[in-house]
Chain A
């Protein structure tokens, strides 16, 4: 072999080695995910039953169920969506279409980027100080939903802006050319066209709201709830808090309950995530 051939061989080997390493890294991540799923299913699948889904928590791990957390999560997510989606989309439209060059626009823009990086537990303390204490909403469903709305708003704003930005400029110009006003252009063209992408962002944000635990612990969502929330001011619990409560107990029986709760939680969040991914793949071309 000539020197050049040896050199080429060395380079090729390194190249292949790097790819092997990178794939092993990926494989490691895959293995962790599989391990996680297998363990949770192994621990919890035996507990999944219609009784588990429809029972209240109990001091006996064998009788405990998740209905309170399930209902609380459902109510909280619906209220959160009703609050955060219109405001989030509105803010995104303002930033993208109106507030582009002025100072306020820039300030708000930087501000939202920063808010997206604020740890969720800090939102919990905001909710505690503002909604629970200052507005005396107590540890209620509405206080939790408002807190969660503020938490997921930046995600919705950022996703919606990306979606609107991706609409070709020609569509705006065509709309203006036939005499439409700015708002008519936005309402009749930009929003419908970017809707699939906006929806993708919203689904991801909602999925996050379902899994968030810390902020609602901070505002004082309960861990032992034996009733369903009846109105906006009802105390409540959510599925992740119920799971956290079970994980924190030493008895193995409660760990099974926790694993079973996790299976239910994962079904929801992974379902939403895959819907989002499918939506995006279908519409992003």
Chain B
């Protein structure tokens, strides 16, 4: 009797200890987020003590490492948006087409063969894609477009599109697949063809889920680093012309981290100001995507 009681206390105590330990593990994630925000904010505050927010947002030049210093984020922002837009222009049409094919047409064996292939594509390190953009794709494109400079926004944009293709495909396919079968059957009952059912019934029903996947892909493209750091040229350039060299927010951070700019100087603090801009951008996009997806999946059932 006594023994049983002690044992019960022992087991109860162990349960509590384990639960607290597991909670601590889970809290690591909260501390990570807090850490990111605190680290970025502290240095960014130092940065904005010397540079006005207005200059940061409106100056059209970004030359923090030159004698004539300008701190306008616009060139980096335009470079980022340019490469990401090209990436989306490649991955969205291609990804959606493949997703519709996989979810509405493909036989099970085909799907089983294609999915691992896409996963291989997603598993290739970005440094490899960067090398590919610089050494293979750019020379290839230069044969088509002679005015293309050795570093440009086009080639890394296209390669980045290939990189995020698996993301677009798999998330969109998930969205297409949760469309209830009754809708498809209703379409067939009215005499619609498979393509009509896919494009006029399934696709619109899954639209918000697809939008969520596109937003997430956009966020991924904005945050992608090595491909643009290698192949885009690291030249902050306020341009919408994809044939020119550009720099992105991420490529700039890599550039400065590699150089010999001393820690704590104004020039160095720029990377924290850039990083917080990047963080806010992707955070916002991720939240929007998360919200849409959650609501959509709740409606779609399954």
Contacts and interface: CB of A to CB of B under 8 A. Distances in A.
29 contacts: A19-B101, A21-B97, A36-B124, A40-B128, A40-B131, A87-B25, A87-B28, A90-B22, A114-B286, A115-B29, A117-B282, A117-B283, A119-B222, A122-B279, A123-B36, A124-B257, A125-B253, A129-B35, A153-B32, A207-B123, A211-B125, A213-B127, A218-B257, A247-B134, A247-B135, A269-B123, A269-B124, A270-B123, A270-B124
A23 B113 CA distance: 13
Interface in B19-67: 19, 21-30, 32-33, 35-36, 38-40, 42-43
B121 A29 contact: yes
Interface in B140-190: 162, 165
Contacts of A39: 132, 135-136
B11 interface: yes
B124 A119 contact: no
Interface in B201-228: 216, 219-220, 222-226
A98 B19 contact: yes
A126 B272 CA distance: 10
Nearest to B116: A277
User: Looking at chain B, what size class is its interface with the partner chain?
Assistant: 35 or more
A210 B125 contact: yes
Given A120-B223, A211-B125, A277-B119, A125 B271 contact: yes
A118 B22 contact: no
A108 B30 contact: yes
B43 A129 contact: yes
Nearest to B199: A18
Interface in B74-126: 94, 97-98, 100-101, 105, 114, 116-121, 123-126
A262 interface: yes
Q: Is the interface of A mostly helix, strand, loop or mixed?
A: helix
Chain A interface: which size bin? 35 or more
Given A19-B105, A94-B22, A265-B125, A43 B282 contact: no
B6 interface: no
B236 interface: no
A104 B226 CA distance: 36
A29 B162 contact: yes
A91 B26 contact: yes
Interface string B252-296: 011001100001000000011001001100110111001000000
A164 interface: no
Contact of A270 (B21, B120, B216): B120
A35 B282 CA distance: 31
A171 B94 CA distance: 43
B10 to A, nearest CB: 11
A247 B129 CA distance: 12
A77 interface: no
B144 to A, nearest CB: 15
Given A18-B195, A114-B286, A94 B26 contact: yes
Contact of A122 (B28, B36, B134, B219): B36
Contacts of A23: 101
A117 B18 CA distance: 29
Contacts of A262: 127-128, 131
Contact of A125 (B33, B39, B127, B129): B39
Contacts of A128: 39, 257
Contacts of B21: 90
A117 B40 CA distance: 17
B69 interface: no
A150 interface: yes
B73 interface: no
Contacts of B127: 211, 213, 240, 243-244, 247, 262, 265
Given A119-B223, A119-B250, A270-B124, 8 more contacts: A29-B121, A117-B285, A125-B36, A128-B257, A130-B39, A133-B263, A214-B253, A258-B131
